[in-house]
Structure 1
Amino acid sequence: MDKIWNIKTQGDANVIKHLSAALNVNMVIANLLAQRGITSYNEAKSFFRPRLSDLHDPFLMKDMDKAVARLEQAIENQEKVMIYGDYDVDGTTSVALMYQFLRSRIKDLDYYIPDRYSEGYGISPQSIDYASEQKISLVIVLDCGIKAVDKIKNAKDRGIDFIICDHHNPDDVIPDAVAVLDAKRPDCNYPFKELSGCGVGFKLLQAYTIKNDVPIVELYDLLDMVVVSIASDIVPVVGENRVLAYYGLRKLNSNPSLGLKTIIQIAGLVGQDISVSDIVFKIGPRLNASGRIEHGKKSVAIMVVTDEEEAMELGNEINSYNEIRKTLDRDITQEALDMIAHDPNQENRKATVLYNRDWHKGVVGIVASRLTEHHYRPTVILTESNGLATGSARSVKDFDLYEAIGSCSDLLESYGGHMYAAGLTMKIDNIPAFTRRFEEIVARQITEQQQTEMIEVDAKIQLSDITPKFYRILKQFSPFGPHNMTPVFVTENVLDAGTSRCVGRQLEHLKLDLVEPTLTSSVFQAIAFNQADHYEAISQGLPFDICYSIAENEFRGKTNIQLYVRDISAKLY
């Protein structure tokens, strides 16, 4: 599939010139900073050297004083307290963070993760029944709860107080809990709106430590869980998230908690400099697999474990769930692709809606993502659960999936999510009607540009610009993530040095050796995954353009700069 290379608008020329001189960096680096809204030496210093002292006062968040007062009361009176969170990585890390901090302060402390299949997302009626039966007087909810108006009322009527720590958009009515911490509340003036659910829990504990003169190092020791939540929940890595991720990665790389250390070992990351990408692709999926295949409580258990033998036992169990998840993911994705390939009506559609009652509910979100990447159109994958069709939806760049699904709300039992990802449930009989209307809405609203994958390119450069100093500074732009993505470059008219070749089990990848003969005699190593179809033209010695990011590759103890080619120009043909 052809891709669009969108070269970003360059930063203000005067700002770039000023930054280049003030920081002693070349114009390319200065432009990357300007594109990120950095205009002065001090802003650049804060960007390259985040400080924990840059974190906002947690008491700026609406209801924070109420939340801290209620938590203090529970600790003072040694009440029975339950920590509740969603079954995904953000939810389980949130629960683990809160439990780790409070277990030395509250004797009767419990945690609860709802079952993905029997209870579903959010605060479940079963959990309120459980809290009532156990005579729990305070529930701290993390990563959900902002829309649970009726359930919070029910709990309040039964004498159970709730503190809600959420980061999702609220409805018009805020639940009547003791405190509702959510920076996205319209009446909340907190300066940073994009915290993860675990990040909101961290702010509650930060406020508690300030109010009670607790050494802040005790809280900072839990930042490895916060960075796992930030990376896995794909929140913007700017502002407070950047600070928390920066120090969380330090903790994860130097002295992670026993449970995360075990997962790092099982994931084969020991001895490596763990990045946000490693969390997204290796740590997060293992923590997620527990809730997808068995129960999310296992993910909390490994993150709060104190015994090494138990940690390894839990780690191996979670890893086995991940292997099952990968098999299901692969098989169901192929089944879904085959359904599309064998249905002539799919060819000209602007959206994909597929249903199979036998697909595993725990992986339909992953499958939706895979199909969106493959066909690049809004995708809904549905299966059967508890007599209803339930599933996940994923979108393409700049198309508001949540709004499109909302336009079909009369056909749905429930839905939730945001612009790019959503979950939904409907009666099975409504699937044909939903499919027709969703297709009509997408066809009417989606633009031609939104139907083609776009690669955002930061700048055009020469290969000769890629020096050791350039890459050393580039690495300091990390941690990368939404709103601070790994820089992507374009270099035009490169040539094969004559030693490029196809690699991989099925020779599906390209190992490239590239030169710019008019500028430098240096050979630059590159890898282009799943692009072996370009080999014949490249090997003929014709010039071509590449779109790529830059990273390090370690081979036989030697580390080299390597280009990761995202796309190769079609002008070869």
Structure 2
Amino acid sequence: MLHSKTRWHSPAADPDTVRDLARSLSISPLLSSLLVTRGLDAPQEALLFMDGGAEDSHDPFLLKGMAEAVPRIRKALQDGEHILVYGDYDADGVSSTALMIYLLRYLGASFDIYIPHRSNEGYGLHNHALDWAVQQGVSLIITVDTGISAVHQIAYAAELGMEVIVTDHHEPPEHLPEAFALINPKLPDCPYPFKGLAGVGVAYKLAEALLDGKVPEEWSEIAAIGTVADLMPLLGENRSLVRRGLSSMRNSPFPGIRALLEVSGITMSTVGAVNIAFGMAPRINASGRLDHAGRAVSLLTTAHPGEAEQLAGELDLLNKERQLVVERIVAEATEKLSKQIGDGEPPDIIVLAEQGWNVGVVGIVASKLLERYYRPVIILDIHPETGMCKGSARSIPGLDIYAALSSCSGLMDHFGGHPAAAGMSLHRDNLNAFAAALNEYAAAVLTPEHLVPVTAADGETEIADLTLQAALELERLAPFGMANPLPKFIVRGAAVKETRKMGQEGKHLKLVLQQGRHTIEAVAFGKGPLAELLPGGTVIDVLAELTVNEWNGSRKPQLMLQDLAVPQSQLFDLRGAADAVKQAVYIKELLQPYSGGAPFRTAAVFQNSRLSPLSQLKGMSLWVYDEEAGISPLPSGQAEASGTISLLCLLDMPETPEQLDALLAAFPQVENIALLHSLRDGRDRLQIPTRDHFKALYKLLAGIAAAPTPEHEVLLRLSRQSPLSVRMLGKMLDVFEELEFIERSGGTISFVSQPSAKSLTASRQFVRLGQIAEMEQYFMEGSLRELEDWMLARRQGVS
């Protein structure tokens, strides 16, 4: 039994509405149900969403501050003023800066750019940068993707004689800076109807205002990158802007974008928003995380293909380095948290800080820990000399991290961000108070339900409905991203027809799923090890995205697995494992993420004679087979069979039916059993005893043991003349002794020439031999299904 990692939530669409919309628009019921569940149940509204239109774009002068900013910039152009574009180091900030470069080049402006170094300077405006700007003769500063919280810095700029126009999209603080103009759709009194613009989206609206709406179409490519990378909702104006950008990108005139697509392994003709999010954006961000974002700005703005190829290659290498750095810090942070909480639960908000944690990647580390613990996470780097901490936060839907930080703003030097992500700086002396204040805030906001991850699905469907035509039709809902995610479907009761690992070192999983006569391939990245837990015939539920797999000119539908569950108890066939203890630990680690949030209890059972180092079975309750009680807890093993056992590992098989029955009775609620026992050599196995076996043995004994003969010699001679194992022959001698066909005395055996007539079935040893042999045959040779059915029958007999 595997529990899903998250709770799947699937809204039910009204079947009549789905049918009517499908008929009205001549679309499939699958696409119609998606539109309905996403609130697009009116035909005209659904058509507008799928096909787009001019209605999505709004007058840039509806943005508060635009009416003041545009004439000021035009005056600067007319007077030949030197302008500074002040950007940010993430992909949105880089895109915003690049877009402003194209705009100011187009307008013939005199300008410089400045992007702070993430590690050395940190987020936002800095006074030393303003000092530098004055020295360069700057009189007007235009911020992009930053500035809305820079109250003191903008006041300092005014003291230096420079005016500042802020273009930003971050949450505005209560006290706003006194800039020449503030352009931010989130300002409380801003009438702009769409509030979800990225920083680059606001910069794009400024370009629209300055160019009377005649913005070169290819600039939408730059806007698309920043919008997708900054996880802005792909609805309304963003959807229209990204769609136009992707269309232009498929034949991009920008050498930098072409080179970035190539190094990311993205096919230009089919580039989509998902490619930006997982291919282009990480490489752009790597520049600001491990080096300086100026390199990424140069890539997006260069006109030279050779320079573009070189810069794209450098960003690709930086991204690979970034991945290694992230892996190291995640391991260190996880270990640090484990030491803090021991066997307890993590705090409502996890706050971890350490020297040497590259400030450029702490946001990624926070995301990975959030995924593991499903708690808001803050990861900070501590400067070894100054003691200043710079960090990033990532949060869950139930907690607005910006609001949480605002509640303890006095403990920080600076902070800013969104409900889901934020950045901050503070001194290490305030760390304990900071963590305590945040958790006090969280305690009043979070409920237990908030801490259970939920994945929104778009509906439950059958494999028969997941056709190639349906997959192609779903593209009408693209581009996919925030607020318009790739559709996810729940398929229940699918049988695994084929299982295999794929990719380097078997890292990924490929399944063929079947329902009735319909099959579909399913791929799960990073889940290759689960192949051992999903043998053919396993019935599973899956949460998956429907995609098109193109290979060698052929196209077919394919599921990309996001999560899965096996609703029934499982028997894992690992019989003959070279190292049963090691394999038990491995299976435990594989299953633990699929415990469904319930306590993950494991147990191991073995023979008393086992010599393996049981110390490796840390955290498992340990049990041994017992001749009298059947099964007994090991005193030092913290044996506990109460409650549901997630995994029961049989390191050795039981020797008797009584031991098996005791085992089944001791663990009445077990979700999974792993068979890890060794396999006896065929010549050492027992056979179901028959009357013919005993007839043949009786004749042999008459000749071998007519006079008292040492038992070991009898067994040796019998084994030479009989196909039965010595072990089997020994147990048959026990039957003959009970029936008084032989006599044992002083280690010798004597054949009784004229015994009393007795039926074999009257022998308790004969019946017991049959039971033990049957059990051994199932455990050694039976198929998984045969053994499972037999054990179920015995369990029912036990209960």
Which bin holds the TM-score, normalised by the shorter protein? Answer: over 0.9
User: Shift of the alpha carbon at 1:508?
Assistant: 4.6
Amino acid at match of 1:183: P
Structure 2 residue aligned with 1:324: 321
User: Shift of the alpha carbon at 1:503?
Assistant: 3.2
**Does structure 1 conserve the Cα–Cα contact (< 8 Å) formed by 2:490 and 2:541?**
yes
User: Shift of the alpha carbon at 1:313?
Assistant: 2.5
2:543 to 547, 550, 568: 547
3-state SS of paired residue (1:234): coil
Equivalent-residue separation in structure 2 for 1:103 and 1:476 (angstroms)? 36
**Does structure 2 conserve the Cα–Cα contact (< 8 Å) formed by 1:205 and 1:219?**
no
3-state SS of paired residue (2:372): helix
**Does structure 1 conserve the Cα–Cα contact (< 8 Å) formed by 2:91 and 2:226?**
yes
Structure 1 residue aligned with 2:568: 572
Structure 2 residue aligned with 1:470: 470
**Does structure 1 conserve the Cα–Cα contact (< 8 Å) formed by 2:502 and 2:509?**
yes
User: Shift of the alpha carbon at 1:489?
Assistant: 0.6
Equivalent-residue separation in structure 2 for 1:242 and 1:209 (angstroms)? 22
Q: Do structure 1's residue 281 and structure 2's residue 283 form an aligned pair?
A: no
- Per-residue CA deviations over 1:245-290 (Å, capped at 9, x if unaligned) read 1011111122241111111122222455112121111111111111
**Taking structure 1 as reference, are residues 61 and 107 closer, same or farther at Cα in structure 2, changes over 3 Å only?**
closer
Q: How does 1:195-210 map to 2 (within 5 A)?
A: 195-210=197-212
3-state SS of paired residue (2:11): coil
User: Shift of the alpha carbon at 1:406?
Assistant: 3.0
Equivalent-residue separation in structure 2 for 1:376 and 1:155 (angstroms)? 42
User: Shift of the alpha carbon at 1:543?
Assistant: 2.6
Structure 1 residue aligned with 2:296: 299
Equivalent-residue separation in structure 1 for 2:328 and 2:461 (angstroms)? 41
Structure 2 residue aligned with 1:515: 514
**Taking structure 1 as reference, are residues 533 and 325 closer, same or farther at Cα in structure 2, changes over 3 Å only?**
closer
User: Shift of the alpha carbon at 1:80?
Assistant: 1.0
Equivalent-residue separation in structure 2 for 1:441 and 1:2 (angstroms)? 30
**Does structure 1 conserve the Cα–Cα contact (< 8 Å) formed by 2:468 and 2:548?**
no
3-state SS of paired residue (2:567): helix
**Does structure 2 conserve the Cα–Cα contact (< 8 Å) formed by 1:249 and 1:274?**
yes
Amino acid at match of 2:133: A
User: Shift of the alpha carbon at 1:380?
Assistant: 1.4
**Does structure 1 conserve the Cα–Cα contact (< 8 Å) formed by 2:472 and 2:548?**
no
Amino acid at match of 2:520: F
Structure 1 stretch 285-294 or stretch 2-11: which is displaced more?
A: 2-11
Equivalent-residue separation in structure 2 for 1:348 and 1:440 (angstroms)? 16
Equivalent-residue separation in structure 1 for 2:362 and 2:485 (angstroms)? 26
Structure 1 residue aligned with 2:230: 233
Equivalent-residue separation in structure 2 for 1:228 and 1:166 (angstroms)? 16
The share of aligned pairs that are identical, in percent, is 33
Amino acid at match of 1:478: A
Q: How does 1:41-52 map to 2 (within 5 A)?
A: 41-52=43-54
**Taking structure 1 as reference, are residues 300 and 470 closer, same or farther at Cα in structure 2, changes over 3 Å only?**
same
Q: How does 1:110-509 map to 2 (within 5 A)?
A: 110-210=112-212, 216=214, 218-271=215-268, 273-345=270-342, 347-350=344-347, 351-385=349-383, 386-497=386-497, 499-509=498-508
**Does structure 1 conserve the Cα–Cα contact (< 8 Å) formed by 2:233 and 2:484?**
yes
**Does structure 2 conserve the Cα–Cα contact (< 8 Å) formed by 1:28 and 1:459?**
no
Equivalent-residue separation in structure 2 for 1:284 and 1:530 (angstroms)? 21
**Taking structure 1 as reference, are residues 134 and 285 closer, same or farther at Cα in structure 2, changes over 3 Å only?**
same
Equivalent-residue separation in structure 2 for 1:43 and 1:566 (angstroms)? 30
3-state SS of paired residue (2:361): helix
3-state SS of paired residue (1:300): helix
State the TM-score, normalized to the length of structure 1: 0.93
Equivalent-residue separation in structure 1 for 2:398 and 2:514 (angstroms)? 36
**Does structure 1 conserve the Cα–Cα contact (< 8 Å) formed by 2:496 and 2:511?**
yes
**Taking structure 1 as reference, are residues 271 and 427 closer, same or farther at Cα in structure 2, changes over 3 Å only?**
closer
User: Shift of the alpha carbon at 1:544?
Assistant: 2.2
**Taking structure 1 as reference, are residues 175 and 402 closer, same or farther at Cα in structure 2, changes over 3 Å only?**
closer
3-state SS of paired residue (1:571): coil
**Taking structure 1 as reference, are residues 28 and 330 closer, same or farther at Cα in structure 2, changes over 3 Å only?**
same
Q: How many pairs does the alignment contain?
A: 564
**Taking structure 1 as reference, are residues 133 and 31 closer, same or farther at Cα in structure 2, changes over 3 Å only?**
same
Structure 1 residue aligned with 2:691: none
User: Shift of the alpha carbon at 1:42?
Assistant: 2.0
- Per-residue CA deviations over 1:459-499 (Å, capped at 9, x if unaligned) read 011111122322222111110111111111111111122x2
2:555 to 554, 559, 570: 559
User: Shift of the alpha carbon at 1:165?
Assistant: 0.9
Q: How does 1:15-30 map to 2 (within 5 A)?
A: 15-30=17-32
Amino acid at match of 2:511: L
Structure 2 residue aligned with 1:82: 84
Q: CA RMSD in A?
A: 2.1
2:107 to 101, 105, 108: 105
**Does structure 1 conserve the Cα–Cα contact (< 8 Å) formed by 2:140 and 2:164?**
yes
3-state SS of paired residue (1:397): coil
Equivalent-residue separation in structure 2 for 1:428 and 1:537 (angstroms)? 46
User: Shift of the alpha carbon at 1:540?
Assistant: 5.1
Equivalent-residue separation in structure 2 for 1:76 and 1:18 (angstroms)? 59
Instruction: Mark the runs of 5 or more structure 1 residues left unpaired by the alignment.
Output: none
User: Shift of the alpha carbon at 1:108?
Assistant: 1.8
Structure 1 stretch 402-411 or stretch 166-175: which is displaced more?
A: 402-411
Equivalent-residue separation in structure 1 for 2:530 and 2:299 (angstroms)? 45
**Taking structure 1 as reference, are residues 37 and 342 closer, same or farther at Cα in structure 2, changes over 3 Å only?**
same
**Does structure 1 conserve the Cα–Cα contact (< 8 Å) formed by 2:290 and 2:360?**
yes
3-state SS of paired residue (1:360): coil
3-state SS of paired residue (1:254): coil
Greater gyration radius: 2
**Does structure 2 conserve the Cα–Cα contact (< 8 Å) formed by 1:495 and 1:538?**
no
**Does structure 1 conserve the Cα–Cα contact (< 8 Å) formed by 2:467 and 2:557?**
no
3-state SS of paired residue (1:356): strand
User: Shift of the alpha carbon at 1:107?
Assistant: 4.3
**Does structure 2 conserve the Cα–Cα contact (< 8 Å) formed by 1:52 and 1:244?**
no
**Taking structure 1 as reference, are residues 2 and 126 closer, same or farther at Cα in structure 2, changes over 3 Å only?**
same
Amino acid at match of 1:262: A
Equivalent-residue separation in structure 1 for 2:61 and 2:479 (angstroms)? 27
Instruction: Mark the runs of 5 or more structure 2 residues left unpaired by the alignment.
Output: 570-799
Amino acid at match of 1:456: A
Equivalent-residue separation in structure 2 for 1:293 and 1:70 (angstroms)? 36
Equivalent-residue separation in structure 2 for 1:506 and 1:399 (angstroms)? 39
Equivalent-residue separation in structure 1 for 2:121 and 2:311 (angstroms)? 23
**Taking structure 1 as reference, are residues 163 and 410 closer, same or farther at Cα in structure 2, changes over 3 Å only?**
closer
Amino acid at match of 1:366: I
3-state SS of paired residue (1:219): coil
User: Shift of the alpha carbon at 1:194?
Assistant: 0.5
User: Shift of the alpha carbon at 1:562?
Assistant: 0.7
**Does structure 1 conserve the Cα–Cα contact (< 8 Å) formed by 2:381 and 2:390?**
yes
1:528 to 524, 529, 535: 524
State the TM-score, normalized to the length of structure 2: 0.68
Equivalent-residue separation in structure 1 for 2:543 and 2:30 (angstroms)? 16
User: Shift of the alpha carbon at 1:103?
Assistant: 1.0
Amino acid at match of 2:284: L
Equivalent-residue separation in structure 1 for 2:110 and 2:290 (angstroms)? 29
**Does structure 2 conserve the Cα–Cα contact (< 8 Å) formed by 1:349 and 1:439?**
no
Amino acid at match of 2:311: L
Higher relative contact order (CA 8 A, sep 6+): 1
**Taking structure 1 as reference, are residues 293 and 532 closer, same or farther at Cα in structure 2, changes over 3 Å only?**
closer
Structure 1 stretch 256-265 or stretch 221-230: which is displaced more?
A: 256-265
